[in-house]
Structure formats: C-alpha cells, structure tokens
Structure 1
C-alpha cells in the first residue's frame, strides 16, 4: 500500500529539493514539476520519494499531516 504524505520543502538547489515529513528529511527531484517550488511549499512525492509529483495547498497538507499523526499515534497505543 502506498500512502501520500505531504512533505515540506526546507531547501531548494536547482532541480533538487530537501523535504521533511515526520522528522525525516530526504532529497527529491523537481524535474517533473510544472510549477515553481519554493521553501515552505508542501509536495506529494512519487516513485518511492525520488520525484516530487505535485504541490498541495498548505491547509490541505497540514490537515493530512494532523490526520496521519492521529492515526499513527492511535495505532501505537
């Protein structure tokens, strides 16, 4: 099963971005993005996290992160 977790952009270097989700950072390619990406944007990653697939609105991203946090904490209890 694949779950799309919004990742916040914390750095951009050309066609690569460093993103963070749940305390984990990773590098992802921006080559597939059809719009500019900036620090603070939220992205959905595809292809195992190797490529950014789409940008999502901050409110949508934060709601998804909040929901996932609740689900994960309920599953650990």
Structure 2
C-alpha cells in the first residue's frame, strides 16, 4: 500500500527538488512535472514528484493525517 503525503518544495536544483514534510527533508525528481516552484506542494512516488497539489488541500491532508496518527496512538495505549 502506498500513502501519498503532500510534500512542500523548499529547494530546486535543475530537475531535482528538496521537499519537506514536518521537518523531514528528502530529494525528489521533477522530471515528470512542469511548472513547479519553490513553495508548491507535490505528491512523491518512488522518488518522483508525480502531481502538484493545491496548498489548502495539502495542508488539510497533513492535518488529517496527524489527527489519524494521534487517534491510532491513543487506541494502542488501551487494553482490550
């Protein structure tokens, strides 16, 4: 299963971007996308940025993912 996490472009050098998610930075190829800039949010798969995502949608997706992780952590603390 793959999980698409919106990642913010913080640096671009030729066709390689540095992307950030909550302070974790990784490199991703931009060869599959046109018209991306620093500050844009993209979806990364197998090291490639495969789609550009609206900033509001990206931010909401990150909030929702954090909430799900928090809820899963709360559930693992309880005994059945």
Q: 1:62 maps to which residue?
A: 59
Measured against aligned partners, the alpha-carbon deviations of 1:24-43 in whole angstroms (never above 9, x if no partner) come to 1100000011x211111000
What is the root-mean-square deviation in Å for CA atoms of aligned residues?
A: 0.9
- The structure number with the bigger radius of gyration is 2
TM-score relative to the length of structure 1: 0.90
Query: What is the total number of aligned residue pairs between the two structures?
Result: 74
Please list every run of 5 or more consecutive structure 2 residues that lacks an aligned counterpart in the other structure. 75-80
Q: Which runs of 4+ in 1 moved over 6 A?
A: none
SS at match of 2:2: coil
Please list every run of 5 or more consecutive structure 1 residues that lacks an aligned counterpart in the other structure. none
Map 1:1-77; keep pairs closer than 5 Å.
1-33=1-33, 35-47=34-46, 50-77=47-74
TM-score relative to the length of structure 2: 0.87
